[in-house]
């Protein structure tokens, strides 16, 4: 049965439908979204689709981790009711020509370094939401900019779905869960915990009264630079709605970071409250 | 009652809903779409919204004709069941940041001269279709490139609405009906019939066996150039699906033209069959 028909049937029976779009290689972060969805909806659909259009040329599409059988097992155990795993041709049939751009929000952070990435994300999410037609869709806060872009796009295009966010889930040493963590070698993996240490240092400074973005970022950079294998791509304090850079912490702000370990790019973030 | 709720109620009662999006200043072309919709659907909604984002800077937004009271009267007489006339703020609330681009199809014809026009058209149509959620939406064939762009976008984004097209409706002298015709002064209006004369000349040549795009276009240009007030913007023979230029007429092709009379830009087209 087509997923859209299934959802129509469920909704016709008065059930609320939650949807968790993923690129597979599932970890506890994804599963926490499934669990959140189960608390808010009667039926939960998870999609697994590694979307080519959100990877830059030369970026890590070909090396993006996948473990489909393991994913299905995890989703079954987590209590998901349906897994939707379309092919690339199903999402982008021959002649496909449409793209969605969200301006402003995509000028900073990852948008500065991953050309076309958020157009790919916005477009595939619009398609998946239109195919599935859930009541609620859930996204993780680790991809904070993605979350802002999707909220904006869903509002602007009146896609008629509520967007809910799940908190970042971390490994015992603080590293944010990510499918890409599996690409780290043992030494990289060990050092990667500095990202969270850096963010925690920022939170401490703010507690001590620091409000200057540049001084906060310097302190974080100092922590991350201690990891010999880390290469900082960006570290920015931005408004959590507009993603515009802030020089002072006067309202809750998003401190967002991207760090390379070898070829593996990791992102993380923290909301700082003055 | 919100238009979306009204449509939901109608569809819940098993009725098929047709939708005709317009920019107002209605003429017989629009009303023929309403009539077509009434033949294919149980309820017909017409929107009137002059969409700022599809006008270029300096283009004719401010001078675009409008006649709201007259439009309502015409739609009532035509048998439309609901008129939806959102404000600009309703369609584009504060912070609106999303745009939809259809590539390829928009490289030729009007797309070459009206920068951003089809992004504006695609975006507003996606929004209107998402607000109204009709079963069928109807567009005129005069705007052939617009029709192709909307079909592509609706397919690509799975908007779940059937797109139907209505034939061009012409004045007795052959001029294609257009809201912009009211901007012509009497002499311009008189001369404007050369556009259709030119297209008819092309059809004659094809009947006589001509298949060469350049020779067909030359003959049309010759006819249009006879009108002293006409300035040709483009004249192209293109594939009616891809909008790509053709050098030979081997399959049905779209001969499309844009002509200025003073500040007023008129478009027209004809399908030529070999």
- Taking a C-beta distance cutoff of 8 angstroms, is the pair A152, A119 a contact? no
How far apart, in whole angstroms, are the C-alpha atoms of residue A185 and residue A40? 38
Topology of domain A179-272 in CATH is 3.30.1300
pLDDT digits (tens, 9 = 90+) for B157-208: 999 999 999 999 999 999 999 999 999 999 999 999 999 999 999 999 999 9
CB contact under 8 A, B159 and A130: yes
**Residues of chain B positioned with their CB less than 8 A from the CB of A239:** none
pLDDT digits (tens, 9 = 90+) for B204-245: 999 999 999 999 999 999 999 999 999 999 999 999 999 999
CB contact under 8 A, A159 and B131: no
How far apart, in whole angstroms, are the C-alpha atoms of residue A61 and residue A53? 9
Size of interface A-B (CB pairs under 8 A): 66
How far apart, in whole angstroms, are the C-alpha atoms of residue A126 and residue B233? 36
Mean pLDDT score, A28-41: 98
CA nearest neighbour of B87 among B59, B65, B68, B60: B68
- Chain B: residues touching A (Cβ < 8 Å): 93, 95-105, 122, 126-127, 130-131, 152-153, 155-160
The predicted structure's pLDDT at residue B56: 80
The predicted structure's pLDDT at residue B35: 98
- Taking a C-beta distance cutoff of 8 angstroms, is the pair B255, B270 a contact? yes
Cα angle value A129/A130/A133 (rounded, 5°):
70
Closest CB to B99: pick one of A95, A101, A126. Answer: A101
B59 pLDDT tier (thresholds 50, 70, 90): low
Please give the ipTM for the structure prediction: 0.95
**Residues of chain B positioned with their CB less than 8 A from the CB of A157:** 98, 100, 126-127, 130
**Residues of chain B positioned with their CB less than 8 A from the CB of A99:** 100-101, 103
CA nearest neighbour of B137 among B257, B34, B269: B34
Q: What is the mean pLDDT of chain A?
A: 96
Q: Specify whether B30 is catalytic.
A: yes
Residue spans in chain A of domains classed CATH 3.30.1300.10: 179-272
Q: Could you tell me which chain A residue has the CA closest to the CA of B92?
A: A156
CA nearest neighbour of B96 among B81, B86, B110: B86
Top CATH class of A3-166 equals alpha beta
What Rg, from alpha-carbon coordinates, does chain B have?
19
State the pTM of this model.
Answer: 0.96
What are B128's two structure tokens?
A: 């209107």
Helices and strands in chain B, H and E counts? 10, 9
Q: How does B15-28 read in b/e, with b if 16+ C-beta sit within 10 Å?
A: ebbbbbbbbbbbbe
pLDDT digits (tens, 9 = 90+) for B64-113: 999 999 999 999 999 999 999 999 999 999 999 999 999 999 999 999 99
Q: Is B162 helix (H, G, I), strand (E, B) or coil?
A: strand
Residue spans in chain B of domains classed CATH 3.40.50.620: 3-166
φ/ψ of A122, rounded to 5, equals: -60, -45
What are A166's two structure tokens?
A: 């799940």
């Amino acid at each position: 049965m087509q997923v859209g028909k299934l959802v129509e049937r469920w909704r016709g029976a008065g059930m609320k439908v939650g949807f968790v779009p993923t690129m597979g290689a599932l970890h506890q972060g994804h599963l926490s979204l499934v669990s959140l969805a189960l608390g808010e909806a009667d039926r939960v659909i998870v999609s697994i689709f590694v979307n080519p259009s959100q990877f830059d040329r030369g970026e890590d599409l070909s090396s993006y981790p996948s473990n489909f059988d393991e994913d299905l097992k995890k989703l079954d155990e987590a209590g998901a009711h349906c897994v939707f795993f379309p092919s690339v041709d199903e999402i982008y049939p021959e002649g496909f020509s449409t793209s969605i751009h969200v301006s402003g929000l995509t000028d900073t952070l990852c948008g500065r370094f991953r050309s076309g990435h958020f157009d790919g994300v916005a477009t595939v999410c619009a398609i998946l939401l239109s195919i599935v037609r859930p009541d609620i869709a859930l996204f993780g806060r680790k991809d904070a900019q993605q979350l802002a872009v999707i909220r904006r796009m869903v509002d602007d295009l009146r896609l008629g779905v509520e967007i809910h966010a799940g908190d970042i889930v971390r490994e015992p040493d603080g590293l944010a869960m990510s499918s890409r963590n599996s690409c780290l070698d043992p030494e990289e993996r060990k050092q990667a915990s500095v990202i969270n240490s850096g963010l925690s240092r920022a939170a401490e400074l703010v507690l001590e009264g620091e409000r200057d973005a540049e001084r906060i970022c310097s302190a974080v950079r100092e922590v991350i630079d201690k990891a010999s294998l880390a290469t900082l791509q960006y570290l920015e304090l931005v408004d959590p709605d507009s993603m515009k850079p802030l020089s002072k912490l006067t309202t809750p702000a998003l401190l967002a970071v991207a760090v390379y370990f070898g070829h593996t790019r990791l992102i993380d973030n923290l909301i700082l409250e003055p």
